[in-house]
Chains A and B, each alone.
Chain A
């Protein structure tokens, strides 16, 4: 029988941020930065991994009628030169929605979580980019669109501000 008697946390240097104002973002067919997903992070020295986490709302396009379907295609980028150049983390893309002709109208809060191997004790920038595969899709971020309350009122001011965080983990 074994016991782990290490009662000290090996999760360190937690950092998070959230925009200080409301804004929404319509997804286009070009890769663009996801607002609120950027963070500059310096890991704990000699840790093993950094966990990046982004929680946000994906919803219907702000200009659309009810017959479109919503998707978001996400890639995860990092920069080691303060944003002068960006690289994509290998095997890290996410997709929220469904394929063409499905008409799936998925909306809600989602979390994208990435596990990044320790690189050095130097600052690295992270961000997500998003696009839609074609104009048959239609989506927005950070705002509830097309939701109706019991009085059938369509509110357009129901924002959800995204939250981004990073934490260092040292495996034991």
Chain B
């Protein structure tokens, strides 16, 4: 399926940027990723809503793995899956252990983009995250200094955006 996504078709663009002072540390239970939360009303007669989230992930354990799923609802206390089993709205980043016993410590930018059928009225959208287990811990929103060999950790101010097409 092809959509012509020129500037004129990008309507009602909305951005939330969060200033952080430390890492976000997801747990083994699904929880809301606060900087990814945004309230949004699609433009009249739009077909889709484009949701984006941008940050930087780094390692806390030698192997790091994180799952994201996009939720929406009438407000932050009434969230639901967008599709059955979150099909099309679930993404994982990271690595598994290997027989070579080499550490992964994956450190990369996170650029998430989901296309959602438009709705009428306002909804709250938010990403939920969890890690695979306590042995696969991840830091979000920065880079540990053991990766960069700098004198201190780097932090990254995450941002999310939505627009209608």
Residues of A at the B interface (CB closer than 8 Å) are 1-12, 14, 48-49, 51, 73, 90-104, 106, 110-113, 115, 117, 133-134, 167, 169-172
Contact B17–A49 (Cβ < 8 Å) = yes
Interface of A is mostly: loop
Residue B146 at the chain A interface, CB threshold 8 Å: yes
Contact B42–A4 (Cβ < 8 Å) = yes
Q: Which residues of A contact B155 (CB under 8 A)?
A: 91
Supposing A11-B10, A14-B7 touch, asked if A102 and B121 sit within 8 A by C-beta, the answer is no
Residue B135 at the chain A interface, CB threshold 8 Å: no
> How many residues of B are counted as interface, with CB atoms below 8 angstroms from the partner's CB atoms?
50
| Chain B min CB distance to A164 (Å) | 15
Contact B109–A9 (Cβ < 8 Å) = no
Residue B129 at the chain A interface, CB threshold 8 Å: no
Residue B48 at the chain A interface, CB threshold 8 Å: no
Contact B15–A169 (Cβ < 8 Å) = yes
Identify the closest chain A residue to B64 (Cβ).
Answer: A98
Contact A115–B7 (Cβ < 8 Å) = no
Query: How long is the Cα–Cα vector from A101 to B59 in the complex, in angstroms?
Result: 13
Identify the closest chain B residue to A74 (Cβ).
Answer: B109
Contact A171–B154 (Cβ < 8 Å) = no
Ranked nearest first, the 8 interchain pairs of A and B with the lowest CB-CB distance are A133-B149, A99-B105, A115-B159, A91-B157, A4-B41, A93-B154, A98-B105, A11-B10
| Chain B min CB distance to A114 (Å) | 8
Among B56, B102, B107, the residue within 8 A (CB) of A97 is B107
Residues of B at the A interface (CB closer than 8 Å) are 7-15, 17, 19-20, 41-45, 54, 56, 58-59, 95, 102-109, 111, 120-122, 142-144, 146-150, 154-157, 159, 161, 163-164
Contact A172–B108 (Cβ < 8 Å) = no
Contact B148–A73 (Cβ < 8 Å) = yes
Contact B7–A11 (Cβ < 8 Å) = yes
Identify the closest chain B residue to A48 (Cβ).
Answer: B15
Query: How long is the Cα–Cα vector from A7 to B43 in the complex, in angstroms?
Result: 6
Q: Which residues of A contact B142 (CB under 8 A)?
A: 91
Contact B104–A4 (Cβ < 8 Å) = no
Q: Which residues of B contact A104 (CB under 8 A)?
A: 95, 102, 104-106
Supposing A49-B15, A133-B149, A171-B15 touch, asked if A9 and B7 sit within 8 A by C-beta, the answer is yes
Query: How long is the Cα–Cα vector from A7 to B12 in the complex, in angstroms?
Result: 8
| Chain A min CB distance to B154 (Å) | 4
Q: Which residues of B contact A96 (CB under 8 A)?
A: 107-109
Among B10, B121, B154, the residue within 8 A (CB) of A9 is B10
Query: How long is the Cα–Cα vector from A44 to B12 in the complex, in angstroms?
Result: 16
